[in-house]
Amino acid sequence: MASICVPSISSISNHRFSATDSMTTVAILSNLSKTQTPFSLRKFTRSFSFISLPITRKPFRNSFQVRSVAAPAEAVAGFDEMTATTQRKYYMLGGKGGVGKTSCAASLAVKFANHGHPTIVVSTDPAHSLSDSFAQDLTGGTLVPVEGLDSPLFALEINPEKAREEFRTANQRNGGTGVQDFMDSMGLGMLVEQLGELKLGELLDTPPPGLDEAMAISKASTCQVMQFVEAPEYSMFTRIIFDTAPTGHTLRLLSLPDFLDASIGKILKLKKKLSSATSAIKSVFGQEEKQQDASDKLEQLRERMVKVRELFRDTDSTEFVIVTIPTVMAISESSRLHASLKKENVPVKRLIVNQVLPPSTSDCKFCAMKRKDQMRALDMIRNDPELMGLRSIQAPLVDVEIRGVPALKFMGDMVWK
Ligand SMILES: Nc1ncnc2c1ncn2[C@@H]1O[C@H](COP(=O)(O)OP(=O)(O)OP(=O)(O)O)[C@@H](O)[C@H]1O
C-alpha cells in the first residue's frame, strides 16, 4: 500500500469512517461534522479534488494532539472557552516570517465566524497575504466581506502606502512642508534643534528605513483599532484578529505608541511652559488658532495611543499568540519575541508549532532525518525558559497549500481546540 508522510486534505475529505481509523483521523472527521452545518460540510468536500491516496493512519495518532509542555499551560483556555463569551476579544498572531501566521490567523477567524462570532481579520503586515490565504481579493484598505461562509467575516488589509501618505499630508496640512513649519505653527520653532534628543524631527521628515512605514501602520492601526473600539458600526463584531508582520516589525509597532506618547507628552509639556510667554506675540501674528488646533490634534493622537496601548495589555480582552515552526532558528526567535512581549506586558498564553512532520513509516530517509531534526527542535521548546510555560499546540505539515475557506476551516479544526 502506498503511503504518504503528511496528512492529506484531499484524502481526508474523501474519507469514510472505519474501525481501523486512527483516533486522530476520527477526531478530525468528527470535529468537522460537529462544527460544520451539513451545507458547509458539503461545500468543504466539494472544494477538493478526490485523489485516492491512501494514508498511513497509525503514525498520525499523536501528531494532531494538543500538547501542553508545562503545568501552568494546562490552565490556558481551549477553543470552547475562547468562543464562550460575546464580550469583544482581540487576538494578535505573530512570529518569524513564513511560519504560518496568516494561515493561523485566517483559520481562527473562520472558526470564530463559524461559531457565530461576527469577526474581522486585520493584516498589519505591509506584505499582506490575507487575500492569498483566503484566495479572494481583500485588498483596498477597507473592510471587505469574506465569501464562502454562512456567518459574517470581514477582512481588512491596512494599506501602508495610503497610511503613510495620509500621515505626510496631515503633517503638511499642519502649516508647512516639514517639521520646522509644523513646530513653528506650534510656537516651538526655536526648539526644533533642542528636540534632536527626541528624534522627532527625524521621525517626521527623514525617518530611518522601515520606521516611517512602522509609524504609518502604527498610526493606521491605532486609528483603526480605535475605530473598532469606538465606532457604532463595528460594535457588532465580537472577535478581532490581527495578522501581524514578522517579529521585528511587530515589536517596533508595539513599542511605538509608548515612544510617541512620551515624545508627544514632552512636546505638549514644552508648549505649555512656553505658551504663556509667547501668547502675546502669537495673538499679534494671528497664529493662536492654528497652534491650538495642532496642539489638540497631538493631544487626541496621544490619548488614542494610550488607549490602544492599554487595550493590547489587557489580559481580559487581548491575547498575543506566537506562531513558530520546529526549527532552531524559528524557536530562538520565538523565545526572544516572548521575552520582548513580556517586557511590554502583552499577554501571551499559546505557542503554535506549525508544520510538524508526522512520523513516517515509509523508507523515506529525508523524511526520517527531517522528523528527527524537528523532534530536537521540539525538545528545545520544552526546555526553553521563555516558551516552556506556554500552551504548545502542534499543527501538522499538510500536503497542499492552505488556501481558501475550506482549507482554512480544515486547518482551524486542527489548530484551535
Ligand atoms: N501546516 C501547514 N502545512 C502546509 N502548508 C502550510 C501550513 N501552514 C502554512 N502553510 C503554507 O505556508 C506558506 C506560508 O504561510 P503563511 O502565509 O500563513 O505564513 P506567514 O507567517 O503569514 O508568512 P509571512 O511572514 O510571509 O506573512 C503558505 O503557502 C501556506 O499555505
pLDDT in tens, 282-327: 555 455 555 556 666 667 767 776 777 777 788 898 999 999 999 9
Distance 172 CA to ligand 1 centre (A): 40
Distance 94 CA to ligand 1 centre (A): 12
**CA-closest candidate to residue 319, choices 358, 352, 354:** 352
Helix (H, G, I), strand (E, B) or coil at 322: strand
Ligand 1 contact via 393 beta carbon (within 6 Å): no
pTM: 0.70
Delimit the domains of the chain by residue range: 84-274+295-415
- Which of 171-180, 242-251, 292-301 is the least confident region? 171-180
Residue 271's pLDDT band, with cuts at 50, 70 and 90, is low
**CA-closest candidate to residue 166, choices 158, 311, 94, 393:** 158
Give the burial string for 39-59 (b: 16+ CB within 10 Å, else e).
ebbebbbebbeeeeeebbbeb
User: Which of ligand 1's atoms lies nearest the C-alpha of 397?
Assistant: 3
Distance 354 CA to ligand 1 centre (A): 9
Instruction: Record the cell numbers describing residue 332, joined without a space.
Output: 530562538
Beta bridge partners of 242: 92, 122
Helix (H, G, I), strand (E, B) or coil at 83: helix
Pocket test for ligand 1, best of 4, 60, 96, 102 (most atoms within 8 A of CB): 102
Residue 145's pLDDT band, with cuts at 50, 70 and 90, is very high
Distance 23 CA to ligand 1 centre (A): 26
User: Which of ligand 1's atoms lies nearest the C-alpha of 106?
Assistant: 18
Q: In this predicted model, what pLDDT tens digit does every residue of 66-117 receive, in sequence order?
A: 333 333 555 677 898 899 999 999 999 999 999 999 999 999 999 999 999 9
**CA-closest candidate to residue 99, choices 327, 311, 294:** 327
Sorted by sequence, the CB contacts under 8 Å of residue 208 that are 6+ apart come out as 202
Ligand 1 contact via 100 beta carbon (within 6 Å): yes
Ligand 1 contact via 404 beta carbon (within 6 Å): no
Instruction: Tell me the C-alpha distance between 42 and 339, whole Å.
Output: 44
Distance 98 CA to ligand 1 centre (A): 6
Would residue 125 show up in a list of annotated catalytic residues for this protein? yes
Instruction: Tell me the C-alpha distance between 195 and 73, whole Å.
Output: 46
Q: What pLDDT is recorded for position 35?
A: 35
Q: What pLDDT is recorded for position 120?
A: 93
> Which residue out of 21, 80, 125, 296 is catalytically annotated?
125
Q: Is the pLDDT of residue 264 over 60?
A: yes
Instruction: Tell me the C-alpha distance between 378 and 383, whole Å.
Output: 9
Q: In this predicted model, what pLDDT tens digit does every residue of 321-378 receive, in sequence order?
A: 999 999 999 999 999 999 988 988 889 999 999 999 988 778 888 999 999 999 999 9
User: Which of ligand 1's atoms lies nearest the C-alpha of 395?
Assistant: 1
Distance 102 CA to ligand 1 centre (A): 7
Ligand 1 contact via 102 beta carbon (within 6 Å): yes
The CATH code of domain 84-274+295-415 reads: 3.40.50.300
User: Which of ligand 1's atoms lies nearest the C-alpha of 103?
Assistant: 18
Nearest CA to ligand 1 atom 19: 100
Ligand 1 contact via 103 beta carbon (within 6 Å): yes
Radius of gyration (Cα) for the chain, nearest Å? 25
Strand order in the sheet with 318-324: 66-68, 391-396, 348-356, 318-324, 89-95, 239-243, 119-123, 153-157, 144-145
Distance 121 CA to ligand 1 centre (A): 16
Ligand 1 contact via 148 beta carbon (within 6 Å): no
ipTM above 0.90, yes or no: yes
Ligand 1 contact via 330 beta carbon (within 6 Å): no
Ligand 1 contact via 157 beta carbon (within 6 Å): no
**Average pLDDT of the chain to the nearest whole number:** 70
Angle between helices 38-46 and 23-35 (to 10 degrees): 120
Instruction: Record the cell numbers describing residue 363, joined without a space.
Output: 523508507
Instruction: Tell me the C-alpha distance between 109 and 156, whole Å.
Output: 12
Pocket test for ligand 1, best of 402, 411, 413, 414 (most atoms within 8 A of CB): 402
Q: Give residue for cell 463569551.
A: 85
